């Protein structure tokens, strides 16, 4: 399993060159914009914060977890008074 800690890690891993299941070392930048219905090639699990509405980060997580699942998770987070954004609570999406 490939566990990404944060959305930046997801973009880095998904942008990289792969040889089977191995990520090859490289240097550079990425302009990868992940949004539904993106097909993830490498990342299996995501640990990420609860992101702000209408953000590109929320789009990435929606592509990973699915919109309906994410809406339910956010409803629960609001009901339980979780903290959002960078210094808030996080979720592990399996």
Span 20-51, pLDDT tens digits: 767 888 898 999 999 999 999 999 999 999 99
pTM attached to this predicted model = 0.86
Number of Cα atoms under 13 Å in the Cβ half of residue 41: 14
Helix, strand, coil share (%) of the chain residues, nearest 5: 35, 15, 50
Fold classification of 3-93 is QueA-like (3.40.1780)
What lies within 8 Å, CB to CB, of 66 at 6+ separation is none
Report the candidate in 81, 76, 48 with the shortest Cα–Cα distance to residue 62: 48
Residues 2-23 pLDDT 10s: 999 999 999 999 998 777 767 8
């Amino acid at each position: 399993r490939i566990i990404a800690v944060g959305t930046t890690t997801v973009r880095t891993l998904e942008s990289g060159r792969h040889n089977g299941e191995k990520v090859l070392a490289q240097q550079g930048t990425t302009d990868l914009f992940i949004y539904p219905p993106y097909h993830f090639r490498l990342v299996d699990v995501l640990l990420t914060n609860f992101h702000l509405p209408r953000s590109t980060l929320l789009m990435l997580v929606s592509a990973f977890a699915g919109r309906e699942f994410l809406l339910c998770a956010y409803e629960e987070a609001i009901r339980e008074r979780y903290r959002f954004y960078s210094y808030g609570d996080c979720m592990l999406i399996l």
